[in-house]
Structure 1
Amino acid sequence: MNLTKPTHIAFIIAGIVTILVAIFLEKFYLIYAQPFTVVTILIIYFTEKKDPTSVLYILSQCIGLAGGVLLILGMRDHLKAVSVLFSLFYIIYLRLMYVRNKMKKAELKTYLYVALMSIPLLYMYYNLIDTVSEELKNVVIYFSFLMFFMLSYIITALYYYVKDKTPSNLWMLIAAVNLGFMNIIIGLNELYMYQTIFTVIVVFCSLCIQVFVLKFMLNKDEEDTDLFNSINE
């Protein structure tokens, strides 16, 4: 974030306030704080975008906010709605990545790397589902769709980065890693054992995801690839 830009400062302030609310107040009060982070990140997007406005990106922010409110109100009570909303959220992110990346054929080793790196992720989520399975008996179908699209998003982000190491793919991969970690914490916090520190971690991860997806949306690969390659060297 650029501390010389008022819009960026506004997002940082909104993020800090949201984290402080998560630390010192009841989780319910996040309903009043969290929307400001979404509003400020959208303002940054509107003022800095170079390409035509992405309706899908705006829609993803709105869906993410709606899903976040339901999580704050209680995931147990709104698990079906949360599953539907976030399934749509991940479908949109999959579409955004697909549009950004050229459909060139990947090498066999790319698929091998992605498969090997996906094994720990699948194992962690298998253990999470096993831990909270008692809470999922009445929403198995909804939750299955949610897991499918969420894991598809994370693994696809990994695939695109391994195949084509552009800056925008890196930002989306970092966002996906944050999201994968955040969802494990959400599952434990909402369906197994609630802890305030878990809520704080979730809020922090959600802010990171907003920043990195914004960078994905604003990044122009043709302008940054040379610099990115020189850093890697």
Structure 2
Amino acid sequence: MQLLIEGELRQFVPIKNFRQQFDLPDAFGISMFEPKDYTGLGQIDSAGPELNVVRRAVLDAIPTEMPLQEWLAYLPHLTRLFESKLHEVNPEIGLKQVEVEFAVSGFQNICQGLIYAMIQARAAGEPMPEFQRVYADWLNSTVRISSTVHSYVHKGETWAVQIVNTAYGRNGLIVWTEAQTHYLHDSSLACPAEGFMQTLLNEVATRILLATDAAPPETANG
């Protein structure tokens, strides 16, 4: 996993590798410093059939052909459909209203970011953007480092630890040992919706790009 931390792209290594390197207990991770409250959380990880209803409805609503300049006007409709379908299946999932709103906001922001990147690429005569770059830019825009600095004593050394948050919750740590700074990926408390959202948005982006390519040249170019 790579995240932009204070202006620099950092590679986050799996936390199990760090534990092995320093002979740390399995408990060393985000939950040791900032445990998660599971009270009232939705069951996204066991809601495959319900989420597939959302996925199918959204993908079916994407036109097979659409000129580039029309996507920004169409996006609100697609976002409302995503929100409506999410509410429709939510009794089986149990997401809180704020969680639904966050998912809808992420959906809209990423799709909008893709369309703007497509418009810029078309204007510059460059290839259309790749979804992963657009997605990474969005995810990096949501990175927040916890203001709390935790202490951890290991073999006589006192380390400083901060938790890294993204749109999907806590999924990383920054550990300052006496020798160097380590960036660690710990997905144990990350939102289980991350995989679904990334996969869905990848499919949506692919269809938007294909539909734009399929639009008649004279229409697509205005």
Q: TM-score, normalised by structure 1?
A: 0.32
Which structure is higher in helix share?
1
* Greater per-residue strand proportion: 2
Could you say which structure has the greater relative contact order, defined with CA pairs below 8 angstroms and 6 or more residues apart?
2
